[in-house]
Structure 1
Amino acid sequence: MTGCMALVLCVAALSASTFTTDAKELSITTIKADPYTMTAGSELEGFCIDLISELSKKLGFKYKLHLVKDNRYGSRDTNGNWNGMMGEVVRGEADLAVAPLTRTADRERFVDMSTPFMQTGIGFILHKNLTSEESTFSLLAPFSTDTWVGILIAFLLTGLCIFLVARISPSEWAEPDSEQHSFTLFHSFWYITGALTLQGAGPHPKALSGRLVSAIWWLFAVLLLACYFANFNSVLQSNSKHLSIKSFEDLANQDVINYGTVDSGSTMFFFKNSKNPVYHRIYEHMERKKSFVPNMEEGVRRTLEGNFAFIGEAVSLDLAVARNCKLIRFEEAISTRAYSIAAPLGSPLVKNLTIAILQLSESETLTHLRHKWWASSCVGAEGVHSSGALHTHDLGGLFLLLGLGLAVGLLLALLELLSKARIQAKDSKKSCCSVLTSELNRRFGSGGESTEPDTSDKSKA
C-alpha cells in the first residue's frame, strides 16, 4: 500500500514539474526594450525572445507572444490596481511576463517570480563632453597622442636633416680636413630646440640649404606654438565649465545638469521610498523638475543631446554606452537587483522555469545570449576623442610644409656639393662621380682623398 502511494505521488510530482506538447498555449506578455525585445520587420527579436525560445525547448510548451498594451512594466495606482505587464499577469490576461522586470517585494506579494535570469543595479550615464577627468598631464591636452608623436618625429627628422645639410654643403663646411665642423649632431638638436622656445642658439647656418631648413623649422615652430597656446586656452575654458561627477552624491550636490529616470518604474520607486537622504533628494529633484521620461529610449536621447543624466538599470545602460560611444556610464551601481519572469500567484510554471533558468545558466547559454545582444559598436575604435585636442589631420598642412622644406634643403645641399665636385673634377681631370664619392667620404669620416698622396709616394719609392 505504501509503495502504491509513493508511486502515485511520484507520478503526480512528475506531471506537475513537466510540460507536454498537449499543454495549453501560454500567453506571454513582454515590452519593447533594447535589446530584450525589438521589432525586426513583422517579427520580434532580442534577448528575451531567445530566452523564451530556449525555455520552451527545455520545458516543451507552446506560447503566443504579445506586447503589453500600455507599454509599462507595472506599478500600482492609488486604488491599488496594477498597470503594465504586472497588471496583465495579475488579472490573468497573461500566463507569463518575460522582460527586464525587476524583482521587488511589492511585486512578489501579487505575483510569483522565478529565479533571476540577470543581475543588475542602478547607475547613470552622461555625455562624455559633460565630464572632466583630473589629469596630471593637462599640459598635453591641446594635442592628441598621435599629434605629439608626429611632433617628436618631426623634431628628430629636422635635427638629423640640419646635421646632414651642414655636413654635405661646402658653403657650410668648406675644408673637412682642416676646419672643425660646428654643426655636430648635438648642436643640431640644440639649435632646433632653441627655435621651439623662440630663442636663438648660435652659430647659425651659413649655406643657403641650411638657412632654408632653419627658416622652415622656425616657421613650423611658430605656427605650432600658436596652435598650442590657442587650443590650450580653449581647453582651460572648456574644463572650467565641466563638473566632476563620479557618484550619485556628486549628482545630487549640483544643480547644473538635469537628471531623471523612467516614470513609474522600479528605479523611480527606489528613490521615492529610499531612507537615504542623498537618494531621496535625487527623487525630490526629479519630481520638482518633472524630469521623468516615458521610456529608456527617451532617456538615452536626452542624454545624447547633452546636459542630462539618465538614471536606470546598469545592464541596460551598458547597452546604451556600447551603442553610443559619446556616452559614459560611471562605475558606481546601487541597489543590487535582478530580472525575473513573473507568473500568477500559485502558478505551477514558476518551479519549472526556475530549474530551466538555472540549467541555462550552468550551460553558459545565458552568458552567450548576453554577449550576442550586448555586442559593442565601439569595438576596434579608439573611442570618442576629446573635443579640444588637435589631431594630426588638423595640422596636416603644417607637417607637409616642414617635410617639403627638409627635402628641398637636402636637395640644395647635394647640388652645392655636386657643383663643387664638377669644378674639382674639371681641374684635376677626374670623373665627377669619383670626386663626389671622395668628397662624401671626407665629410663623413672615411678618409678618401686624404690617403691618395701616401699611396702615390709609396709607388714612387
Structure 2
Amino acid sequence: MTRLKATICFISSVGAATHQPNKCQGVIHHHYKGILALHLSLSMNAWRRHKTIYRIQLVPFSQDEPYAMSRGSQLEGYCIDLMSELSKKLGFRYNVHLVKDGRYGAMDSSGNWNGMIGEVIRGEADLAVAPLTVTAVRERFVDMTTPFIQTGLSFIMRKSADSEDHSFSLLSPFSTEMWVGVLVAFLLTGLCVFLVGRISPMEWADPEADEHSFTLLHSFWYITGALTLQGAGPHPKALSGRLVAAIWWIFAVLLLACYFVNFNSVLHNKSKHTSITTFEELANQDVIDYGTVENGSTMLFFKAQRTPGNSIHPVYRRIHQHMERKKSYVSSMQEGVRLAQEGRFAFIGEAVSLDLAVARYCKLTRAQEVISMRSYSIAAPRGSPLVKNLTIAILQLSESGELTHLREKWWASSCMGSDETHASDALKPYDLRCLFLLLGLGLGVGLLLALLELLSRARSRAKDGKKSCCSVLSSELHRRFRSGGEGAEQESSDKSKA
C-alpha cells in the first residue's frame, strides 16, 4: 500500500459539516499507510465529490481526578497530557468536551448505552479518553486501543496499628495544635503568677519570710506542681494570686481527665483493629465491613462469581454475598474513600484509583494483593481508522518511558511524610475551647484584682504622704519589677515606720 498525505478538518458541533475549509477548528497533517490510508482515501474522494469536510477527533473527557480536572477554564490531568503526547506523535489537533452525564458508559435493559461509550456509538464523539476498562461487552460495540494503564482489583482501608510508629503514642490523645495550646497556656499562666506575685501588695506583707517567693522560676515550678496534682508551696496569699492558682488547678485537673480518657480510647481502638492484607482474610472476618461502587465493573466482577458452575474462586463469591446481604455498596468512589478513612470499612476498587487515594490521604493503605487484572484504553467507533495509529503511538510512549513519567507525575504523594492515622481521634483546641476560655478569663480577672489591690495601696500611701496617686503607683511598680529585694526592703521599712 502506498503512502498518502492527507489533510483532515474537523469541527466541534455534533453532526455538523461545513463547505468552508478555512473555518475548520483543527487540521491533521500526517503521512498514513495501510488501513488508515484506505479510509482516508475514501474520505478524501468523498470530499472531492460532495465538498464535505468530515469531523474528526471530538474527544469527550470525564472529569475525574487525576485523569481530567478543571482548573479555571482549562482542563488538566493524566488523560489531557496523554492526548497531548499522542497529538504530537500523530500530528493532529483536537477539541475536548466533558461527557454530558458524567458517566463512563453502561448498557441499560433496552440495549442503549449512556456516558462516553454512548456518545462514541451515536457518533457524537470520535474518541473517548478516560479510565475506560476494557470489557467484552464494550468491545462488541466500540473499538479500543492498546491499554495505557494496567490495573486490577484491590482494597483500601484505614492503616492498622501494626503499621504505625508507636514512639510518640503518649502524645496521640492530643493533636499537635492542642499540645501547642497547652504549652501556651502553661507559659501564660506562669507569667501571670509571676506578675500577680510582683504586683499584689499582699505578696510583700512579710518580706523576710517571702523575699524570694514567686520569682519567675518559682512561678513556673508552682504551676508544674499543679499539673502533677502536687503542691509546690509557698502558696499565694493575695486574693488575686489565689484566684489564678485556683483557675489553673481546675484547668489542670480537667485537662488531665480528658487526656487519660482519650488515651484509653486510643489504646482500645488499637487493640480492636484488625490487620487485613488479602481478600481471603477480608472474607473470613466480620469486624470490618466492605463494599464497592454499585453497578460498577468491580461489582459486576463479583456478581459473576454467583453464576452456576463458576468455580473461579469461592472467596469472591462469599464477598459478593456479604455485600448483597449487608447492602454495603456506595454510590461513588469518593464515598468509599471517605468511609475507609473513618475506619471499620474496606473499599474495593481498581488498584490504580486506590493508589491515588492512598497518595492523597495518608491514613489509608492499600492491600498488596491484586486480582482480576484489567486495563484502561481509549474507545473509538467500530472500524475507526484511528485505533491502529493510536495503538502504535501508545506503545511508543510506553517504550520511551513517557507513560511511566505521567503516572509518577499525577500519582505523586501529597502526604509529605505526615501521619494522620489518629488525627480524627485526637482532641483539638476547639474541643476544649470552654476550658481554655475559663483559664483566660481567670488569668485576666486575677491580673485585674492584683492591679486593683496595688491601686488601693497606692491611693492610701498617696493620701498619707500627700502625693499624687500616679506618682506613688509608678514608684511602686518600678520598685517591684526592678528588684525583688529592693521592693521587699521598701515594704519592710514602710511597715516599720507604720
Give the TM-score normalised by the residue count of structure 2: 0.61
Identity %, equivalent residues: 55
Q: How many residues align?
A: 420
Structure 1 window deviating more from structure 2 (440-449 vs 124-133): it is 124-133
Unmatched segments (≥5 aa) in structure 2: 6-30, 48-52, 306-311, 491-498
Match of 2:435 in 1: 398
Corresponding residue for residue 14 of structure 1: 32
Report if the CA contact (8 A) 2:144-2:387 is conserved.
yes
Correspondence for 1:141: 172
Shift of 1:300: 5.7
Match of residue 285 from structure 1: 318
Identify the match of residue 217 of structure 1 among 248, 270, 284: 248
Confirm or deny that 1:192 pairs with 2:223.
yes
Q: What residue is the counterpart of 1:79 in the other structure?
A: none
Report the equivalent of 2:22: none
Letter aligned with residue 10 of structure 1:
R
The question of whether the paired residues in 1 share the 8 Å contact of 2:337 and 2:357 is answered with: no
Q: Match for residue 457 of structure 1?
A: none
Q: CA deviation at 1:437?
A: 2.5
The match for 1:116 is 147
Contact 1:111/1:344 (8 A) holds in 2: yes
Residue of structure 2 in register with 1:77 after alignment: none
Q: Which residue of 1 aligns with 2:193?
A: 162
The superposition leaves residues 202-236 of structure 1 with CA deviations (integer Å, 9 ceiling, x where unpaired) of 11111111111111111111222222233333333
Find the aligned partners of 2:489 and 2:385 in 1 and give their Cα distance. 105
Q: 2:26 corresponds to which residue?
A: none
Question: Which of 366, 383, 399 pairs up with 1:330?
Answer: 366
- Residues 212 and 409 in structure 1, CA contact (< 8 A), matched pair in contact too: yes
CA offset digits 1:36-85 (Å, max 9, x no partner): 999x9xxxx998996998779955799999999995499xxxxxxx9989
Structure 1 residue 342 displacement after superposition: 5.2
What is the deviation of 1:155? Answer: 0.8
Task: Work out whether residues 125 and 327 of structure 1, in 8 Å CA contact, stay in contact via their aligned partners in 2.
Answer: no
| Cα-to-partner distance string for 1:318-345 (whole Å, 9 max, x where unaligned) | 667799x798453747467641235699
Relative distance call for 1:130 and 1:72 in structure 2 (3 A) is: farther
Distance 1:68 1:164 in 2: 65
Root-mean-square deviation (Å): 5.9
Distance 1:119 1:209 in 2: 72
Q: Deviations over 1:342-398 (max 9, x none)?
A: 5699864333213555799999999999999x999999xx98974433221221111
Aligned 8 A contact 1:26 1:62 in 2: no
The gaps in structure 1 that reach 5 residues or longer are 1-7, 75-81, 274-278, 453-461
1:350 aligns with 2:387: yes
Tell me, yes or no, if the aligned pair for 1:272 and 1:283 is still in contact at 8 Å. no
Show the 5 A alignment for 1:75-114: 99-102=130-133, 113-114=144-145
Q: 1:418: how far off?
A: 2.4
Instruction: Check conservation: 1:31, 1:99, Cα contact below 8 A.
Output: yes
d(CA) in 1 for partners of 2:387, 2:209: 99
- The CA deviation string for residues 252-303 of structure 1, in whole angstroms up to 9 with x for no partner, is 6634224355779479769999xxxxx9575243245355999974566466
Preserved CA contact (<8 Å) 2:3 2:32:
yes
Q: Distance in 1 between matches of 2:148 and 2:245?
A: 68
Letter in 1 for 2:470: C
- For residue 433 of structure 1, what is the aligned residue in structure 2? 470
Partners of 1:349 and 1:299 in 2: CA distance: 32
CA contact (8 A) 1:161 1:406 kept: yes
Is the Cα–Cα contact under 8 Å of residues 362 and 415 in structure 2 kept in the other structure? no
Contact map agreement 1:170 1:420 (CA 8 A) in 2? yes
1:259-274 alignment, distance < 5 Å? 259-261=290-292, 265=297
Contact 1:235/1:388 (8 A) holds in 2: yes
1:229-378 matched pairs, under 5 angstroms: 229-245=260-276, 251=282, 254-261=285-292, 265=297, 280=313, 282-289=315-322, 291=324, 297=331, 301=335, 304=338, 307-317=344-354, 328-330=364-366, 332=368, 334=370, 338-341=375-378, 348-355=385-392, 357=394
TM-score by length of 1: 0.65
CA–CA distance in 2 between the matches of 1:294 and 1:267? 11
Q: Which amino acid aligns with 2:191?
A: L
Q: Classify 1:415/1:150 alpha carbon distance in 2 versus 1 (closer, same or farther; 3 Å).
A: same
* 1:314/1:333 contact within 8 Å kept: no
Q: Is the 8 A contact 2:298 2:349 kept in 1?
A: no
Structure 1 residue 244: deviation in Å?
3.2
Quote the Cα distance in structure 1 between the aligned partners of 2:366 and 2:321. 25
Aligned partners of 1:238 and 1:83: how far apart in 2? Answer: 49
Q: Tell me the secondary structure at the aligned position of residue 290 of structure 2.
A: strand
Distance 1:126 1:106, change over 3 A: same
Conserved 8 A contact 1:31-1:71: no
Which one-letter code corresponds to 2:204 in the other structure? W
User: CA shift at 1:33, angstroms?
Assistant: 8.9
Aligned 8 A contact 2:290 2:328 in 1: no
* Residues in 2 aligned to 1:394 and 1:329: alpha-carbon distance in whole angstroms: 28
Q: Which moved more, 1:254-263 or 1:208-217?
A: 254-263
Matches within 5 A, 1:386-425: 386-425=423-462
Q: Distance in 2 between matches of 1:431 and 1:449?
A: 20
C-alpha distance 183-60 of structure 1, shift in aligned 2 (>3 A): closer
Question: What amino acid does structure 2 have at the position aligned with 1:354?
Answer: T
Q: Deviations over 1:159-205 (max 9, x none)?
A: 11111111222211247699622222222112111211211111111
Contact 1:127–1:303 under 8 Å retained in 2 = no
In structure 2, the CA distance between the partners of 1:219 and 1:296, relative to structure 1 (3 Å rule), is closer
Distance across 1 between alignment mates of 2:487 and 2:219: 27
Q: CA, structure 1 residues 98+167, in 2 after alignment: closer, same or farther (shift >3 Å)?
A: closer
Cα separation, partners in 2 of 1:132 and 1:234, compared to 1, 3 Å = farther
Taking the aligned partners of 2:470 and 2:95, their CA distance within structure 1 comes to: 91
